[in-house]
Every structure is written in C-alpha cells, then in structure tokens.
Amino acid sequence: MAAEVCHHAIGALQSHSYLSNLNQHQNLRSNSLRLVTKDFSCSNGLSMGRSSHFGQRNCIVTRSSATHSQTSVVDPVLSPSRSNTSDTTKKSNEAALILIRHGESLWNEKNLFTGCVDVPLSSKGIDEAIEAGKRISSIPVDLIFTSALIRAQMTAMLAMTQHRRKKVPIVMHNESEQAKAWSQVFSEDTKKQSIPVIAAWQLNERMYGELQGLNKQETADRYGKEQVHEWRRSYDIPPPNGESLEMCAERAVAYFRDQIEPQLLTGKNVMIAAHGNSLRSIIMYLDKLTSQEVISLELSTGIPMLYIFKEGRFIRRGSPIGPTEAGVYAYTKRLALYKQKLDEMF
C-alpha cells in the first residue's frame, strides 16, 4: 500500500520545479545570511517565559503576500455562520501549527551526509510519512509549507493521503506568470476541496558543504569524532564551505516570521514539512530556546509536533501519540469541535 500511495504522491510532484528553487538558494544565500537576528522575538507575547537567543523586537505582523492570500481555501467544517461575527473573531485568534520532519531518505539509510542534495524517501521513510498522516488525520490543515527538497514534499503529500478531510494538496507554481496561468483552478468547488502547498528553499536542510555525500562513519574516522560532532551539533561552527545552525536559523526563522506567522494570525491552520535543522531553528524561535538549548534538541523523523497559536502565543502540545489521541483535541474547544464534525461527516 505504501508503494501505491508513494506512486500517486510522486506523480503529483513531478512537475514541480524545486531545482530552480535550489539555484535561487545559491544566488540569494549570501544576502539571506546577512539577516540580523537581534530582532527575531516579538513583543506581542510570543515568549514562553524563557530567555530567548533572538532577543526582543517591536513589530506588527502584517498579512501575507498577495501570492499566498490568493491561494487561501476556506474549510466548510470550520467556517462560522455569517450571523455570528463575534465567533468569527474568536476563531481567528486560534490556529494549529503542525511540524513534521521528513521520513528517512535513501541517503539516511546509507548513513550519508545529505544536506541540500535532493534525495527521495526510502521505503521506511514512506511508511513514516503515512504514519505521521494518521497521527494528524483529525487536525485541521488549511495551508502547507514545505522545503524545496523532494523528501520533505513527499512527506507532506503522503501524510495528507491519510487525512480524514480528504482534501487534495496542490503545489502552487508562482515562479513565473506563465506557471501561474497554466496551473490555475477554475472550479470554486474544487478549490474548496484543495490545500495549497508552498515550497520554499528557506526551509531547506542546512547546507553541509563538503560533507555532502560522505559517509558519516568514514568522515568521523578521517577527521575524528570530536571534529565531526562539532560540525554537526555546534550552533555557530559550519562544516567546510557549509552552513552552521545559526546561518540556517537566520533564513528559516525569517521566512517563518514573514510568510507563515501572518497566516496563523488570520486563523489558518498550517502544516510545515521540512528538515531537522530548519525545524529546530523554528522551534528555537517558538519555544524561546537559547543557542545552548537548541543544540541538544532532537527531532524524530516522521513524528508530527503540534503547537496552538492563540492570543499571540505559541503553546507547545508535543506530539500526538496516535490517530485518535484525545489529549490533543481536549486542549481547545475548536479542535474538539473539528474532530466531532469529522466524526459526524465520515
């Protein structure tokens, strides 16, 4: 079954121009790495009561760009009645944020450094992505962000095949006017049964430089375990001609703040399928971790993590341990109501 689901997911991705995004990454990387980090933490109450490596900032989070807002799809299950405007305001103040690290890739299986090399999922990774989908099958998803790499996109697509809402994820092609025109959907009913998928190189795994493609054990034997551990787990020391976690965080967190956080502010439920280091960077921002705390943060492949964005704060809920985990939905009335409506519909 996993192979059949994978076949459909890969078919949906074949037309996607993620390679052009990687080229753009190389062209823009020097500019993105100059982004300052001292203004990353907003004074709007995102703090979880811990000191933040990113410091403080005064900001107003604006609405997302026109490109993203045009792809918005309203979920009838969550849509409030037109007469109840106060309820609309309440609902827009709460949203779900799901983070999923991609499943095992073919190079993970071979114990190779992967970084920004575009390698697909292994058979185990396919199973992990499907299991991740089961765990979030009753959590609302209105918008999906992935990296520009195929293993993250496969994970997102495979996960959504398990969602009870049965909406179809559609990759947005905004790389040119022609791409936009050719990928238009002209049925409003079809749009309502679709989920926009936005791929961004800023969410890519950190670039491992000259380690990419090398066997991890052989590299440790050659350079020493301590040196390799420093390259892999330090915050600000990059591998040769690669990115440090700090450099990865600059681009990933900036993208999250500019493109994803505004969507949550409008009440959209967002899923991000990405990589160990880009997601660690985002979690560092959400949980206000220090540079020392984030280097010890481990994320399992294919295990979703849930946050609730409410009243300007990100509240970490951990990982749903199963497809019917009651504790996840008991946390907010909105999630409980969503699950109840799905039960009634299906």
Does position 98 have pLDDT exceeding 60, yes or no?
yes
| 327 φ/ψ angles, rounded to the nearest 5 degrees | -60, -30
Q: How many CA atoms lie within 13 A of 241 on its CB side?
A: 6
Mean of pLDDT values over 302-317: 90
Cα separation of the two ends of the chain: 22
Buried-exposed string 224-243: b where 16+ CB fall within 10 A, e elsewhere? eeeebeebbeebeebbeebb
* Paired tokens of 136: 């979030």
Q: Which of 10-19, 114-123, 189-198 has the lowest mean pLDDT?
A: 10-19
pLDDT at residue 224, rounded to an integer: 95
Q: What integer pLDDT is reported at residue 299 of this predicted model?
A: 87
pLDDT in tens, 138-192: 999 999 999 999 999 999 999 999 999 999 999 999 899 999 999 999 999 999 9
Mean pLDDT of 191-206: 97
pLDDT at 330: 58
Angle at which helix 276-287 crosses helix 245-255, to 10 degrees, equals 70
pLDDT for the residue numbered 35: 35
pLDDT at position 132, please? 93
Predicted local distance difference test score (pLDDT) of residue 335: 85
Q: Would you mind telling me the total number of residues written for the chain in this entry?
A: 346
DSSP letter for each residue of 201-261: GGGSPPP-GGGTT-BHHHHHHHH-HHHHHHHHH-SS-PPTTS--HHHHHHHHHHHIIIIIH
**Would you place residue 321 in the very low, low, confident or very high pLDDT band (cuts 50, 70, 90)?**
low
Q: Which of these ranges, 29-33, 211-215, 294-298, has the smallest mean pLDDT?
A: 29-33
Q: Given this model, what pLDDT does residue 59 score?
A: 32
**How much helix, strand and coil, in percent to the nearest 5, is found in the chain?**
45, 15, 40
Structure tokens at 167: 């909406």
Query: pLDDT category, 298, cuts 50, 70, 90?
Result: confident
pLDDT at 305 over 50: yes
Catalytic positions are: 102, 205
